Amino acid sequence: MARILITSAIPYINGIKHLGNLVGSQLPADLFARFNRAMGHEVMFICATDEHGTPAELAAAKAGKPVEEYCAEMHEVQKKLAEGFRLSFDHFGRSSSQRNHRLTQHFAGKLAENGLIAEVVEKQVFSIDDNRFLPDRYITGTCPNCGYEAARGDQCENCTKQLDPTDLINPRSSISGSTNLEVRETKHLYLKQRALKDKLEAWIDSKTDWPILTTSIAKKWLNDGDGLQDRGITRDLYWGIPVKKGDEPWPGMEGKVFYVWFDAPIEYIAATAEWADAQGLDDAAWERWWRTDKGAADVTYYQFMGKDNVPFHTLSFPATILGSGEPWKLVDYLKSFNYLNYDGGQFSTSQGRGVFMDQALSILPADYWRWWLLSHAPESSDSEFTWENFQTSVNKDLADVLGNLVSRVTKFAVSKFGNEVPAGGSFGPLETALIADLGARITDYTRFMEQMEVRKAAAELRAIWVIGNEYLQSAAPWSVVKTDPEQAQAIVRLALNLIRVYAILSAPFIPDAAATMMQAMGSDDWTWPTDIPAAMRTLPAGQGFTVPENLFRKITDEERADWQARFSGIRS
Ligand SMILES: [Zn+2]
């Protein structure tokens, strides 16, 4: 039994995520977690909400709520949606937890002890009416380059020129609109990433099994231009983790908080500690996942994320870990995804374009979405959601191929032989051939799942469903029963066993349908099939079974057209 630690990139707190976000990290991470549990491994699967920073403060202000209350509510909303999509986290934590406060302060203290923190005095724009420093992108003004009147302090959206807030003509606060601004000095902490460059590069070079996409992005950030830069880890904000050096105050940093990018990945560790707390376990229970000196030496750690998060997880977070000088677990394998586009354009949170997690579940159950998203995961390149493709995939793969097989077999079996697995006949050449074919395909499927080849695994699973249908076509029990009822019983017995095996193999993709299939077969034996001849005889003659409710319904052309219109833009 292996020990597998899995983290999904943590979703930001301000609002509901769309399906592109879901398939870029949480959903494939769930597939991998479910598969590894099914293989009998010990799995710890962690996610959380990423709660700090200015966007959360502004979203709370817009909602007319204190930021603590807003984040607590939105965390519950995201948690419920994760449950709706059957994301099987061992814990869904919060980056605002006390656990994360203490760990983040601990890491900062260690980095300071090791000479990896610089204190830098810089000039920043302060809004007197807002009584706060303004991050660059929350300052609006006229672009000195093109005259665009709504240029942001970090960049002009119109001419794309990189700007300093002090470049703007007639600058004003994007929060209140106030022009009562002044430049003030403020002190911030910087993580000296440049000093860690050689260590980071050696570590990345040691990862010979990482995808080229991952290592090339990391190398680019390490070496292109001026190379890896030191990075600010603090902000003048209210909402965040107060700056401390371990348990001690940090002189000169009173009233400041850690920058959200610094504390967010530490939440992977903190959320595991939150899990232990929630289970009533002691520190040893979570440390054995994260501290190589306390039992984590045999843990293999996998991270799942969108490609935009790769620099961060290959450089910034490892810089924190390596720089601490403590034996924390570093990632072993990083699975990154390209983008899912939506119906000829992009998903857009700000424009409400595309399907969001709550809307998806309001029109169809989770399995429909899970199947489409995973079987079209944007692995080697971007992929695109279209309603036509979704309709075809659901109607063919789920309804025609899998659902129809389960329905036909169980209904026929009940009508001819009653509600028990029939005993007659024995397996002949057709059954032997199917079992051999299944064995080879399940070996491939298992390998693709181990390698996190999500689309290839989905294609193989579909092929496994298809050969069951082909077998039934050839074996034709509905004809055989007229001439050789004993043989028809053997065919039905095999087909009922096949449904149980399909439940096991399909569960990582479509857990609800799989549970329905297993329950209908009157079994609770989820052992991953390795000995296929034995697996096809697991349900004994006389075992009771039922005809399950229709597993999947078809999507009509009217529904497709209706949804296409409804989700084309401006979320209502
Ligand atoms: Zn401009």
In the numeric block, which tokens belong to residue 422?
């029939």
Q: Is residue 47 marked as binding?
A: no
Taking only the tens place, the pLDDT of each residue in 102-120 is 999 999 999 999 999 999 9
Separation of CA 147 and ligand 1 centre (Å): 6
Cα 177 to ligand 1 centre (Å): 20
Least confident of 229-233, 288-292, 517-521: 229-233
Cβ within 8 Å of residue 148, ≥6 positions away: 142, 156, 157, 158, 159
The Cα–Cα gap between 95 and 48 comes to 7
Confidence of residue 161 (pLDDT cuts 50, 70, 90): confident
Tens-place pLDDT, residues 43-74: 999 999 999 998 999 899 999 999 999 999 99
Q: What pLDDT does residue 570 have? A: 63
Question: Phi and psi of 391, rounded to 5°?
Answer: -60, -45
Q: How confident is the model at residue 170 (pLDDT cuts 50, 70, 90)?
A: very high
- At 406, the pLDDT band (50, 70, 90 cuts) reads very high
Rounded distance from Cα 174 to ligand 1 centre (Å): 17
The residue that leads in pLDDT, 86 or 381, is: 86
CA of 158 to the centre of ligand 1 (A): 5
Q: Does the annotation flag 156 for ligand binding?
A: yes
How many angstroms is it from 163 CA to the middle of ligand 1?
Answer: 9
Q: How far, in Å, from the CA of 180 to the mean position of ligand 1?
A: 23
Cβ density class 25-46: b for 16+ within 10 Å, e for less: bbbbbbbbbbbbbbbeeebbbb
pLDDT tens digit string along 90-106? 999 999 999 999 999 99
Q: What is the mean pLDDT of the chain?
A: 95
Sheet holding 231-232, edge to edge: 132-133, 117-127, 181-191, 231-232
143 annotated as a binding-site residue: yes
State how far the Cα of 404 lies from the Cα of 407, in Å rounded to an integer.
Answer: 5
Structure confidence by residue, pLDDT tens digits, 428-446: 999 999 999 999 999 999 9
Q: How far is CA 95 from CA 52, 111, 299, 413, in A?
A: 7, 20, 23, 53
With a cut of 50, say whether residue 572 has pLDDT above it.
no
On whether 146 is known to bind a ligand per the annotation, the reply is yes
Gyration radius (Cα) of the chain, Å: 27
Contacts of 357 (CB under 8 A, 6+ apart): 16, 17, 18, 19, 22, 81, 84, 85
Q: Above 90 in pLDDT, residue 518?
A: yes
Instruction: Tell me what percent of the residues of the chain surpass a pLDDT of 90.
Output: 86
Q: What is the pTM of this model?
A: 0.95
Ligand 1 midpoint to CA 187 (Å): 30
- 124: CA distance to ligand 1 center in Å? 21
Give the model's pLDDT for residue 284. Answer: 98
**Residue 392, marked binder:** no
Phi, psi of 42 (to 5 degrees): -90, 120
Q: What is the 156 CA–ligand 1 centroid distance (Å)?
A: 5
Contact indicator for 224, 145 with CB cutoff of 8 Å: no
For position 571, what pLDDT does the model report? 56
pLDDT at 424 over 50: yes
d(CA 372, CA 438): 23
The alpha carbon of 128 and the centre of ligand 1 are apart by a number of angstroms equal to: 26
Q: Look at residue 205 and tell me whether its pLDDT is greater than 70.
A: yes
Judged by DSSP in three states, 5 sits in strand
Q: Could you tell me the distance, in angstroms and rounded to a whole number, from the CA of residue 564 to the centre of ligand 1?
A: 36
Q: Who's near 484: CB < 8 A, 6+ residues apart?
A: 425
The average pLDDT across 286-313 equals 95
CA terminus-to-terminus distance, the chain: 48
CA–CA distance, 233 with 105 (Å, rounded to integer): 11
SS3 541: coil
Q: Around ion ligand 1, which residues have CB less than 5 A away?
A: 143, 145-146, 148, 156, 158-159
Cβ-proximal residues to 88 (8 Å cutoff; 6+ apart), any chain: 30, 33, 34, 37, 45, 511
The pLDDT, as a whole number, for residue 281 is: 98
Instruction: Tell me the C-alpha distance between 10 and 456, whole Å.
Output: 26
**Cα 349 to ligand 1 centre (Å):** 24
Which whole number is the average pLDDT over 321-327?
Answer: 98
Sign for the pseudo-dihedral over CA of 475, 478, 480, 485: positive
CA of 155 to the centre of ligand 1 (A): 8
For residue 527, how far is its CA from the centre of ligand 1 (angstroms)? 62
Strand partners, 5: 44, 301
Q: What is the pLDDT of residue 162?
A: 83
Cα of 139 vs centre of ligand 1, distance in Å, is: 14
